[in-house]
Amino acid sequence: KSRFSGVVQGPPDPILNLGVMFRADPHPKKVNLGIGAYRNAELKPEILQCVRKAEEFIYKHPETYTKEYLPLEGYVPFLKEAQKLIFGPDHVALKEGRVCSIQELSGSGSLLISADFMHRLLGINKIYIPNPTWGNHGALIGKALCETEKYTYLGADGLYIDFEGMKKDFLAMPDGSVILLHACAHNPSGVDLNEEQWRELLPIFKKKQHLPYFDCAYQGFATGDLDKDAMAMRLFADEGIEFIICQSLSKNMGLYGERCGAIHIHTVDKETADRVASQVKRIVRATHSVSPCHGAYIASVVLGTPELFELFKEEVKKMAGRLLDMRKKIYDALSKTAPEKNWDHVIYQRGMFSFTGLDSHQVKMLADEYHIYMVSSGRMALTGLNDGNIQYVADSIKAEEV
Ligand code: PMP
């Protein structure tokens, strides 16, 4: 008898399992619209050129880029560059040392450790998350012993923002609540607030003393411009509002498996930032001791070398550009093939995903009958489309609609 005989089989991860199903499907026309990672026009993963060049440089300088343990806060040159990417290079908050930054295992590790910090040191037991949100938010935040409660994000149609409902919820929450906000390119819906709406939230956060908790996993993927995609976070910084950011370089630098990211906490002064950092570091130490070095080395070289930074910006623009092109083409194809339905939401959304409006039954039928895989919420990853499969996808969706 095994000590583990009482362990029941766990369910597969709803998103990651799509890849398993896709790979197992021998059909020649199969399409993977479930993936949360960039694919080029040949539907292949790509290592960015700026990353390759940085790796060559790192390889040639083993005296600097060692395999030693990093300090508890992570690789400091990376953290400095990562701050500039979010706040802009000359932001007064950085000059005054009001932001403390701790390297973490990408966006996921940043969420877990920062939620753990808030639970242990701020006494937070609940974090408000948008409805809908990334499927793993509840689990990561729950692991840090905080519950999650959803706030209104999309309207009853499930396709457009319900801004009035959102503001109403923010005003009704207890003062000092922690509210998770997607910095840009909302996953799964692709629906973002515009600048005017973000500005409208500032006085609400101030009045209610809510703590903004930014998940920044897609900087660059909404507009193709890293600065424009940091707009929301910069608005809060300019107002002097304290907040926490969980930054991921998985998507925009294509460093998925390197687990590269950081927690940035914007506070009122350097003394506060230093105290906060000391406690976050203790949590890191007790969770996984230190963070991995290679991804941080890469990102520090890319962001800190002017020619590579330029190349990075171009490559981000190119990735975002291909997704936008696919968005327009699937919109056109659906509008032409299935004109009885309005597809405007597809073109109005941004980033890596589109909420199609298909329900879980239709999603299942698309997989079973047409070998097209997407998340049961109807989230389509635009990165799985190319000129060769767009019409097939549109035709299949049309066939499922009628
Ligand atoms: N936040 C959001 C909104 C995401 O979509 C993802 C990845 N799908 C993450 C965080 C975490 O990704 P990673 O841990 O690779 O940064």
Give how far Cα 229 sits from Cα of 35, 86, 192, Å.
22, 9, 11
Indicate whether residue 250 lines ligand 1 (CB < 6 A): yes
Q: Which of 46, 31, 23 is nearest to 322 (CA)?
A: 46
Q: Can 251 be counted among the known catalytic residues?
A: yes
Indicate whether residue 107 lines ligand 1 (CB < 6 A): yes
User: Where is 31: in which H helix or E strand?
Assistant: strand 31-32
Q: Can 134 be counted among the known catalytic residues?
A: yes
Q: Which of 215, 229, 281, 343 is an active site residue?
A: 215
* Nearest-CA residue for atom 6 of ligand 1: 217
ipTM for the assembly: 0.99
On whether the CB atoms of residues 224 and 316 are closer than 8 A, the answer is: yes
pTM, 2 dp: 0.96
Instruction: Ligand 1, residue 182: give the atom nearest the CA.
Output: 3
Indicate whether residue 220 lines ligand 1 (CB < 6 A): no
Residues 125, 131, 134, 136, CA torsion sign: positive
Q: What is the pLDDT of residues 356-366, one digit of tens each?
A: 999 999 999 99
Give how far Cα 150 sits from Cα of 21, 132, 147, Å.
30, 8, 10
Q: What is the pLDDT of residues 173-213, one digit of tens each?
A: 999 999 999 999 999 999 999 999 999 999 999 999 999 99
Q: What is the pLDDT of residues 303-346, one digit of tens each?
A: 999 999 999 999 999 999 999 999 999 999 999 999 999 999 99
Instruction: Ligand 1, residue 107: give the atom nearest the CA.
Output: 16
Indicate whether residue 190 lines ligand 1 (CB < 6 A): no
| Gap from CA of 134 to ligand 1 centroid (Å) | 8
